[in-house]
Amino acid sequence: MADLPPHVDIFEEGPREGFQIEPGPIPTADKVALIEALAETGLRHIQICSFVNTRLVPGWADAEAVATGFRPKPGVHYAALWFNETGLNRALAFAGKLAISGSISLAASNAFSIKNLNRGHAENLEAMRKQTAAHQKNGVKVTRVGVMAAFGCNYQGDIAPELVVRTVADGLAVATEFGETITDVSLADTMGWATPTRIERGVAAVRERWPELRIGLHLHDTRGLAVANAHAGLRLGVTKFDSTVGGLGGCPFAGQKGAAGNIATEELALLCEEMGIDTGIDLDALIEVGRLAERIVGHQLPSELLRAGSLDAFRRKAA
């Protein structure tokens, strides 16, 4: 049996990723309630909103209201998302409440980059140079390279580990140009192409080249393999995962409307805790927050664990 890590850090993205795909507007108070409830479960990292163009993403027209409204809990790191200097500046207005650091965000698939960002990889690198300059100008460190579509792409098909390595290298080169030090690389299975084998190969290829970088996995459960993929990551010592409570999120990409969202935080936490890996999370409390998330969106979420309940509840009854 592989050595599993003693502890993992789970980055909850439900409040941010979960609501942008819901058809109806989610009241600001509900977003705030979810953020505050998540902070009571032992989660230490919560992404609370997107500072994005409100015409393109009307669901986040209330980003400022959410960032203003939530009561931060000491010891919890709150983060937000932005894609340009305007967004960065909106986030900086909450520098007292939010942990602000910069990312260089690329896609391993050029076809995805064109479809999703409306610019190819080369143009996207240029945009990342501008964004890195903007971060520097504002005194914000750039610490992370993110690679979308790292395990496959609806528009480009399979993605070889070599292409992921090349994409990470391109991102690191931008950081080097600006004298920024990258500590983290995030590999995202944006469209649900990963398998445990692909996770092993992708993580191994990046780690072999840059053993000093901390690798995080951002997994989607589009085809039901997210938990198996997380386990493959754990076996390789990956200790950083993004997830969403209840599996909030959905998949907005072509031909996958109605498909599942991110790996569910509570299923990831169950996997870890039941294998002796500490997450710091109170699973029963988190499951209750998953049920709150279902009430907020008004429909069942993909997480199976929300319906079955944790094992500890049964252990207590059986004892």
Active site residues: 251
Measured from the CB of residue 89, what is the shortest distance to a copy of itself in angstroms? Answer: 37
On whether the CB atoms of residues 40 and 73 are closer than 8 A, the answer is yes
Binding site for a copy of itself (CB under 8 A): 1, 4, 111, 152-158, 192-193, 195-198, 200, 221-225, 227-228, 230-232, 251, 255-256, 258-260, 264, 267, 270-271, 274-276, 302-305, 307-309, 311, 313-315, 317-319
CA distance 248 to 250: 6
Phi, psi of 237 (to 5 degrees): 85, 15
Q: What is the smallest separation between the CB atom of 208 and a copy of itself, expressed in angstroms?
A: 14
- Smallest distance from a copy of itself to CB 186, Å: 21
Residue with smaller CB distance to a copy of itself, 100 or 232: 232
Q: Cβ closer to a copy of itself: 126 or 158? A: 158
CA distance 162 to 160: 5
Nearer to a copy of itself, 62 or 189 (CB): 189
Specify which residues 188 forms β-bridges with.
218
Q: What is the 3-state secondary structure (H, E, C) of 147-186?
A: EECECEECCCECCCHHHHHHHHHHHHHHHHHCCCCCCEEE
Q: How far is CA 248 from CA 15, 30, 180, in A?
A: 8, 14, 33
**Which whole-number Å values give the CA distances from 245 to 20, 35, 175, in the listed order?**
14, 11, 32
Least Å distance, CB 256 to a copy of itself, is 5
Cβ burial 214-248 (10 Å sphere, 16+ → b, else e): bbbbbbbbbeebbbbbbbbbbbbebbbbbbbbbbb
Give the H/E segment covering residue 201: helix 196-209
Q: Please, what is the minimum distance in Å from the beta carbon of residue 6 to a copy of itself?
A: 14
DSSP state of 58: G
> Which one, 132 or 190, has the nearer CB to a copy of itself?
190
The nearer residue to a copy of itself, 144 or 198, going by C-beta atoms, is 198
